Amino acid sequence: MKDNNKHQNKTVCITGAGGGIGRAIAIEMNKEGYNVACADTNLDGLNQTIQLLSNEKSEAIALKTDVSNVLDIKKMVNEVVKTFNSLDVMVNNAGVTRAAKIEDLNEKDWNWIFDVNAKGTFFCMQEAAKQMIKQKTGGRIINMSSNGAKGFVDVSNAIYAASKGSVISMTKTAAQQLGKYGITVNSICPGVTLTDILEKIIKTRATEQNKTRKQVLEHYLRNVPTGLANDPKEIALMVLFLSSKGGRNISGQSYNIDGGAVTN
């Protein structure tokens, strides 16, 4: 039997929630009592995420969504509001990349990466903002960028860096334009983070360089002053903070979580 009080909880929508950082965010937000809408193209991954959510005082739904498709984004936000009656926090986490040298990238890579990382982030942000303005209760929008956008030397590729740089730029402008509605907009710039995407990149680099996984990871971490890779939970906790009362008046910022690898 459903607890009708669950619908009184605040609601967060997280793209790219089928694994990695998105899954970690879903878990931490669920622990804090948020209703969680998990969106991804990977429905199996989404269902696995949902099964990991343990707070019985809130609810969660899985939404198969391709953020490179604006119609899918509109359907996602409509379904969130239909289910939970509100959208209070939007986390634009979905992203793609591949390990490639600048001379090996092509137009297909450009379109694929920008369609998800830049176009997807913008239109998710736009649809979320429209709903938050309509609710008249403010809101939080958190966009996932990367320290690669700020010059991290071991970024996966140049197109990815450019797409994530655009996320930082649109975050700043959105923060300036949406502040009057009580909506804050920030971005997070993770560094080396232990996710499936990183594992694929490490595998590619290891094959190219005839090295072991350990050697490639050590190579990445040589440029991280703390010498530590992020656990996805550490990114999730920053999302949690920016969504909390402590983040009420923080907007237009981009936060590095990378052990000091970049400092701008």
Q: Which residues are catalytic?
A: 160
**What's the CA angle centered on 41, arms 112 and 151, to 5 degrees?**
45
Strands 60-64 and 89-92: unpaired
Q: Are 125 and 118 in contact (CB under 8 A)?
A: no
E-strand spans in the chain?
11-15, 35-40, 60-64, 89-92, 139-144, 183-190, 254-257
What are the distances in angstroms from CA 232 to CA 26, 94, 190? Answer: 11, 14, 9
- Sign, CA dihedral 218-220-225-230, equals negative
Q: Are 50 and 30 in contact (CB under 8 A)?
A: no
DSSP of 16-36, one letter per residue?
A: TTTSHHHHHHHHHHHHTT-EE
Token representation of residue 55: 């707070």
How far is CA 230 from its chain centroid? Answer: 14
How far is CA 115 from its chain centroid? Answer: 15
Euclidean distance between CA atoms 28 and 244, whole angstroms? 12
